[in-house]
Amino acid sequence: MVDPQVMREQFTQIEGKREFLVKLLEQPNLGTLRIDVNQAIEEVDDLIDEFKRTFPDGATGSNF
């Protein structure tokens, strides 16, 4: 079983990477990479949603 603190840290990292992708999407010179960045954001959002559905109470003691 994964330590709750480790899970919390990994989830926080994923959320931080999503923010990076959003900022990257704002760059005007992405060209066709914009499609890939959009897809990555969607997949991270799906992962976050799945985590919250799986652990609706945060399961790790944090305020997800």
Low-confidence ranges of the chain (pLDDT < 50): 60-64
Q: Which amino acid is located at 24 in the chain? A: L
Cα–Cα nearest to 15, from 54, 39, 41: 41
Residue from 54, 53, 58 nearest 12 by CA: 58
38-54 tens-digit pLDDT:
999 999 999 989 888 88
Predicted local distance difference test score (pLDDT) of residue 2: 76
Amino acid at residue number 58 = G
pLDDT at 19: 93
- Mean pLDDT computed over every residue of the chain: 85
**Separation in Å, CA 7 to CA 29, 32, 34, 47, 62:** 35, 34, 30, 13, 10
